[in-house]
Amino acid sequence: MPTRAITLRTLRAPPKVNTGKGSRISLPLTFKYFGVNEVATIRQLKSGNWNVQIREQGKRISKTFPTQQEAERFALMGSNELSFHEVCDKYLEHMGDSVRYRVRCLKKNFKSPPTLAEIEAFKRQRLKEVKSSTARLDLQMLSRIVKFGIKHFELDWPFPFNDFKYPPECQPRDRVVTQKELKLLLEDLPPLVASAAELSYETAMRRGEIVKIQKQHIEFHQNRLYVPEAKNGYSRYVPLNAKATQILKDRLVSCNNHQILYNVTAESLSKAFRRACKRLEITGLSFHSMRHSAITKYAQRGLSVNQLKVISGHRSTEMLERYTHLGVKDVVSLMD
């Protein structure tokens, strides 16, 4: 947990007294933060627990802990907990720009750690605005942010999601881009977005992975691209076919050999793609459809599940099955 810039001064050393139940060990501490005095007193209760009382800006905060160590820690740090918005920002730093849009939405709707009632209200409102699967993703991210704060910063936040029912998932899309649509889109999209979309179609990379590509991640001599941290939290290598290799080489020229090849946010890619689809009157496609289409394309060519996992980065067969849209005709052609 980040610490305050404090000046800590013990007014008097803790008295050496019998620390039996009910005794007051009294650790009066005075410390300053931004010019505000705070006084903390710790005492042991008859139950054996330890109570901390902090007087801060005229308000009294009281909290009880099972051990003296936890009580002392809270006396120094407890009133300096990160706010919910600060934890959101820390989570964004940890995960990168691919989650920026969703985190911004959550910050707009929650000012403090959410209660079950607040989560339910947010779910009802969100379902009026977006599809069930989108609302589900928003709420799952909210859960991850709260867990992140509790785990990484030891925040004493409630976790109401154990009693919460998420909206149902929508049926996964089975729409893949046709060659005609792909040609039209690549001609209509801005050059940087077109490059990213075509790269996704060739490699099945996620938009969040593409916008993080750096020059040193590319290993042309090994025909692969290093992804330091994928969506599932693991690093991986992405195989590069001849077309993907050429896309990256062209991009290095276009960005003047800059360290970052696609200096844009993941959400910007999606927005530009949606606008192009609207102009071209193409329905049912999103930027993520390039990834769907790539995995389906390679599955139709007869690659095994394990080979597809190398390309897609999936660690489970179940998740991969949602992307491989094979029909009876495809299977028959492989059987002959």
pLDDT single digits (tens) 70-100:
777 677 665 556 789 989 998 988 887 668 8
The most confident of the ranges 13-27, 69-83, 205-219 is: 205-219
DSSP letter, residue 211: T
The helix-helix angle for 266-280 and 100-109 (nearest 10°) equals 100
Mean pLDDT for 97-105 is 83
Mean pLDDT for 192-213 is 96
pLDDT of 336 over the 90 cut: no
311, 138, 183, 278: which is closest to 286 by C-alpha? 278
pLDDT one-digit tens code per residue, 1-13: 333 333 333 333 3
Residue with the bigger pLDDT between 218 and 230: it is 218
Task: Please state which architecture CATH assigns to domain 179-326.
Answer: Orthogonal Bundle (1.10)
Q: Residue 327 has what pLDDT?
A: 63
pTM above 0.85, yes or no: no
Q: Residue 36 has what pLDDT?
A: 41
Q: Residue 11 has what pLDDT?
A: 33
Q: Which band of pLDDT confidence, cut at 50, 70 and 90, is reported for residue 63? A: confident
Mean pLDDT for 205-228 is 95
pLDDT of 172 over the 70 cut: no
Mean pLDDT for 23-40 is 44
Q: Residue 248 has what pLDDT?
A: 97
Q: Residue 100 has what pLDDT?
A: 82
pLDDT one-digit tens code per residue, 237-259: 999 999 999 999 999 999 887 88
d(CA 19, CA 229): 50
d(CA 242, CA 246): 6
Q: Residue 328 has what pLDDT?
A: 61
pLDDT of 232 over the 50 cut: yes
- Point out the least confidently predicted range of 52-61, 101-110, 301-310: 52-61
d(CA 204, CA 240): 10
Bridge-based pairing of strands 236-239 and 224-227 is antiparallel
Q: Which band of pLDDT confidence, cut at 50, 70 and 90, is reported for residue 27? A: very low
With 0-12 / 13-18 / 19 or more C-beta atoms within 10 angstroms meaning exposed / middle / buried, residue 316 is: exposed
d(CA 133, CA 211): 24
Q: Residue 81 has what pLDDT?
A: 67
Q: Which band of pLDDT confidence, cut at 50, 70 and 90, is reported for residue 61? A: confident
d(CA 154, CA 223): 43
Mean pLDDT for 161-173 is 84
Name all contacts of 31-35 with Cβ < 8 Å and 24+ positions apart: 31/4, 31/6, 31/7, 31/76, 32/6, 32/7, 33/4, 33/5, 33/6, 33/80
pLDDT one-digit tens code per residue, 265-316: 998 999 999 999 999 999 999 999 999 999 999 998 989 889 999 999 887 7
Q: Residue 161 has what pLDDT?
A: 95
Hey, which residues does 43 pair with through a beta bridge?
Answer: 51
Q: Residue 155 has what pLDDT?
A: 84
Q: Which band of pLDDT confidence, cut at 50, 70 and 90, is reported for residue 197? A: very high
Provide the percentage of residues in the chain whose pLDDT is more than 70: 77
φ, ψ of residue 276 in degrees (nearest 5): -65, -40
Boundaries of every domain in the chain = 7-80, 84-163, 179-326
